[in-house]
Amino acid sequence: MTLSPSLEPPLSSMPALTPSLVYAAYRRALRFGVFWRLRPEERAILVLASRLRAIRSPALREAVIRVLEKVWPEKARTYRAFEAGVKVLLHRVSLALKIGAAEAAQALLAQAHKLIPTLGYSHLNTPSFYRPSLGEAEG
């Protein structure tokens, strides 16, 4: 089910994955000695991504987040929570539209900037046995 343009969640509140953040993660890895415990390709991702002007590629973004999970787990969890929050919000909006509650879907999307992080952290902290199926493979 596709949403109309007015029913898209606002992605402007998404935390930016910038090269300066990757450079900060690189410096943190060096400071805590984690850098030398990374595999060579992970070290290369950290160094080279910090030299870019912007990180636009979804594949590179996913690779950087995987490296961030090892170097700076708290920061990586923020990105994972946002991704999970968007999926949960879209799932709830599609359920609301399926039962004919368009006003409820609009209300959910109106509060999306507040709900996305909350839903994401809630989803990540729920044991996998109790998590609702969102239609995609859990990560």
Domain count across the chain: 2
Residue 14 falls within a domain, yes or no?
Answer: no
Among residues 55, 71, 87, which one ends one of the domains?
71
Question: Is there a single domain that holds both residue 85 and residue 114?
Answer: yes
Q: Specify the 3-state DSSP secondary structure of 54.
A: coil
* pLDDT reading at 11 higher than 60: no
* pLDDT reading at 134 higher than 70: yes
Number of neighbouring beta carbons within 10 Å of residue 65: 17
* pLDDT reading at 2 higher than 70: no
Residue 3 falls within a domain, yes or no?
Answer: no
pLDDT for the residue 10: 56
Residue 38 falls within a domain, yes or no?
Answer: yes
Question: Is there a single domain that holds both residue 84 and residue 107?
Answer: yes
pLDDT for the residue 15: 76
Question: Is there a single domain that holds both residue 38 and residue 86?
Answer: no
Q: Which domain holds residue 34?
A: 19-71
Question: Is there a single domain that holds both residue 61 and residue 81?
Answer: no
Question: Is there a single domain that holds both residue 87 and residue 113?
Answer: yes
In sequence order, which residues have a C-beta less than 8 Å from that of residue 53 and are 6 or more positions away?
19
Among residues 34, 51, 71, which one ends one of the domains?
71
Q: With contact defined as beta carbons under 8 Å apart, do 124 and 84 qualify? A: yes
Q: Tell me: the pLDDT tens digits for 20-67?
A: 999 999 999 999 999 999 999 999 999 999 999 999 999 999 999 999
Question: Is there a single domain that holds both residue 67 and residue 79?
Answer: no
Question: Is there a single domain that holds both residue 128 and residue 77?
Answer: yes
Residue 27 falls within a domain, yes or no?
Answer: yes
Cα dihedral sign for 43, 48, 53, 54?
negative
Q: Tell me: the pLDDT tens digits for 62-83?
A: 999 999 999 999 999 999 999 8
Question: Is there a single domain that holds both residue 113 and residue 91?
Answer: yes
Residue 10 falls within a domain, yes or no?
Answer: no
Taking the model in full, what pTM does it have?
0.74
